[in-house]
Structure 1
Amino acid sequence: MIMSRCRIFTLVLISTMLLIGRYQTLFLQQPHDIPPLLKAHQIRGGGKGEHTEVQDTRWEAQQQERKAAMLKGCGSEPSEASLLHVLDQHPTLDHLLINDAHQAVFCYIAKVASKTWRKVWANTVGVSAVLKRKHMLQYMVNSLIPDEHRQKSDLIRKVANYTKFLVVRHPFQRLFSAYKDKIQPPNPERDVISVLSYVQKHRFNATRKDIQWQEFVSYIIDGGYRENQHWRPYVMQCYLCDIQYDIIAKYETLFEDSEEILRRIGAPESLHFPDYYPSSTQTELMSYMGKLTQEQTDRLYQIYQQDFELFQYTHNTE
């Protein structure tokens, strides 16, 4: 009886050890659940040397596809003549932040992780004190840019030779994010003043705290899209068809794109883009878009159509 129990115990022990060994083997063979483009970045070992050749090739192919779509949407490659024309209208290219130390140019766009990127940018240009300022962007634009004494010849040279990049997202998601952040109650910001003035022409008893999505869209359609950087189309901000951008980052792939940018411009190895979890507004946006008439939706698309086409976004907000 005792021998039988010993044999049973031995068999159970052996079986258990075999199962554990099999589990460990399977676990070690399984790739970690990190998308291929994220693996090298999330290890955060630091330098470019830790990027795999496969990853670099995949990321480069993705960038080539994005740039090809942008070129197709513009109809031709940017020329020096077109840049000179832009400089006549915008002598300082004041939507571009320039980093001479790392030979990089960043076109900032509001409501596309611009606050996070500006903090990173402030560290790359050695003005981390800016991070303590409440209105950091205004300081960068109103103080730092004039201090650079931008000359036309210098700008032409830098635009030709520096690494140029921007970050974009789905145009309607960006617009909806602006509405939620700047217009929607209970805490509308000062950006609401021009919107409220418009809405009160159609609903006299409207207040800063009850502007509806449909009213905001009507304001945008009737020309309001020109009045504020938070909802101004990309094509009105970054001189898209007059400057050939080297890297097109997207909100949907923000972390890996941003890490690539930092490594490629030679940012300090210790500087990384912070862990970022892009907010998903798609489901809520679809609900709000359902409140619009077909005419409103069509006209809204017409305003941002070039943004959709240049950056390969679809009309159905996916």
Structure 2
Amino acid sequence: MGREVSGRLVVVVLGLPALFCYLLLGTTTTLHHHPPPTEQSSHSPPTVGSCPTCGLNFIVVSDAPEGDLDDLWWADWDEVQRSRRAALYFECHHVRKTRLKSLSKLVNARRYLYNLLVDDRHKAIYCYVPKVACTNWKRLMMILSGRTNETNPLNISSHIPHEEGVLTRLSGTRIKSSVLRYKLRMYTKFLIVRHPLERLVSAYRNKLVKNSTSAADFKRRYGVSIMKKYRKGVSAQNISKSGHGITFPEFVNYLVETGQDSLQSLNEHWAPYVDLCHPCTIKYNIIGKYETLDEDSEYILRKIGAPHDLHFPPLVASRTASLVADHMASLTQELSQKLYNLYKFDFKLFEYDYPNL
């Protein structure tokens, strides 16, 4: 009798994993992550799962209504935004007061709002940051604000969105202070950031290394003077008048010294986020990141009520991230520390790590 009972217990114990897998396979599962709710992604594709207890693989299929899946996606991204805003507001309490500008100063000294573009149609304000997908987002702002008849952002030449007067800036003197305050308070405000070092290396390569018309101008404006000051053992007469050949350590030395004197004198392509967009004074509703650019851009467009067929252009993969380590290795530890100090608040406010510190 005892052996019979023991035998039954063994059968039950061995059968539990199989029962678990059966119940798992028979349960309808709603996926937690899925593509943004666009016309092209109305259903979530099946994914492969596994049962660690029984060693079986199975297909997870969701039969939840499309609207439910969309709601789940928006809920996920709303939570992502809440987390980013919370981290930003927490770190803002640790930023030196001398580094911050009050709302009154921003309103009265409009030059500080130069990078903030406004779309009155959708009641949206975008703070653009060079080297963080700003060309495509400026194209979108042109379409959103009715500054072009184009409906496909890629049909707009890349130089046009950067031309003065194409988009409305909050720095415009014609905007009354009361209206400006209202827009800063009530409009949907967003910015997009990127790992500060990745952005810096991208700006260095694009403006001081590449052979392009834009780079040639930057080399003449910055490269020549930087090499004359920081290139050791070479006379000024032997410095190329084209400004070509500036090294990354020379560029960083220039940034560190110039930033110590006056952060406002740094070009917008390498000025810190905290000085371009004033995230501790202006309460941004949406914080986008280059690492999740597709999802963040879709979220922004849908939140501001953009046309349903307007989407961020397909993202072209960047290789800059793979180049950061080599560029940083060319710096001394002392220079690396000074570079971190210059962009410290960008790292902290937007939750980015700095290597070797």
Q: Given the two structures, how large is their TM-score scaled by the length of structure 1?
A: 0.79
Which structure has the higher relative contact order (CA within 8 Å, separation 6+)? 1
Cα 1:127–1:185 change in 2 (3 A) is closer
Q: Please say which of residues 198-207 and 213-222 is displaced more in the overlay.
A: 198-207
Structure 1 gaps of 5+ residues are: 1-25
Matching of residue 173 in structure 1 with residue 198 in structure 2: yes
Q: Residue 255 of structure 2 is aligned with which of 204, 217, 220?
A: 220
Q: Residue 245 of structure 1 is aligned with which of 274, 278, 284?
A: 284
Equivalent residue of 1:97, what SS?
strand
Give 1:219 shift: 1.0
CA contact (8 A) 1:37 1:256 kept: no
Residue in 2 that maps onto 1:312:
351
Q: Residue 225 of structure 2 is aligned with which of 187, 190, 197?
A: 197
Structure 2 Cα separation of the partners of residues 41 and 50 of structure 1: 14
Give 1:31 shift: 11
Cα 1:57–1:31 change in 2 (3 A) is closer
Give 1:109 shift: 0.7
Equivalent residue of 1:223, what SS?
helix
Q: Residue 336 of structure 2 is aligned with which of 297, 300, 309?
A: 297
Q: Deviations along 1:57-105, whole A, 9 cap, x unmatched?
A: 21111111110111011119xxxx9311221222683221111110111
Structure 2 Cα separation of the partners of residues 241 and 144 of structure 1: 20
Structure 2 Cα separation of the partners of residues 183 and 44 of structure 1: 41
Residue in 2 that maps onto 1:211:
246
Structure 2 Cα separation of the partners of residues 151 and 269 of structure 1: 33
Q: Residue 75 of structure 1 is aligned with which of 76, 84, 93?
A: 93
Cα 1:31–1:290 change in 2 (3 A) is farther
Structure 1 Cα separation of the partners of residues 125 and 168 of structure 2: 17
Report the residue type matching 1:189 in the other structure.
A
Structure 2 gaps of 5+ residues are: 1-24, 43-65, 95-100, 151-155
Residue in 1 that maps onto 2:61:
none
Matching of residue 233 in structure 1 with residue 272 in structure 2: yes
Report the residue type matching 1:52 in the other structure.
D
Report the residue type matching 1:66 in the other structure.
R
CA contact (8 A) 1:235 1:307 kept: yes
Structure 1 Cα separation of the partners of residues 168 and 300 of structure 2: 25
Structure 2 Cα separation of the partners of residues 215 and 99 of structure 1: 39
Residue in 2 that maps onto 1:88:
108
Cα 1:238–1:147 change in 2 (3 A) is closer
Structure 1 Cα separation of the partners of residues 195 and 270 of structure 2: 12
Residue in 2 that maps onto 1:287:
326
Cα 1:102–1:316 change in 2 (3 A) is same
Q: Deviations along 1:263-296, whole A, 9 cap, x unmatched?
A: 1101111211111134142221101111110011
Give 1:206 shift: 2.9
Between Structure 1 and Structure 2, the one with more helix by share is 1
CA contact (8 A) 1:40 1:50 kept: no
Q: Residue 112 of structure 1 is aligned with which of 127, 132, 145?
A: 132
Report the residue type matching 1:178 in the other structure.
A
Equivalent residue of 2:316, what SS?
coil
Q: Given the two structures, how large is their TM-score scaled by the length of structure 2?
A: 0.71
Structure 1 Cα separation of the partners of residues 179 and 298 of structure 2: 28
Equivalent residue of 1:248, what SS?
strand
Task: Give aligned-pair identity as a percent.
Answer: 35
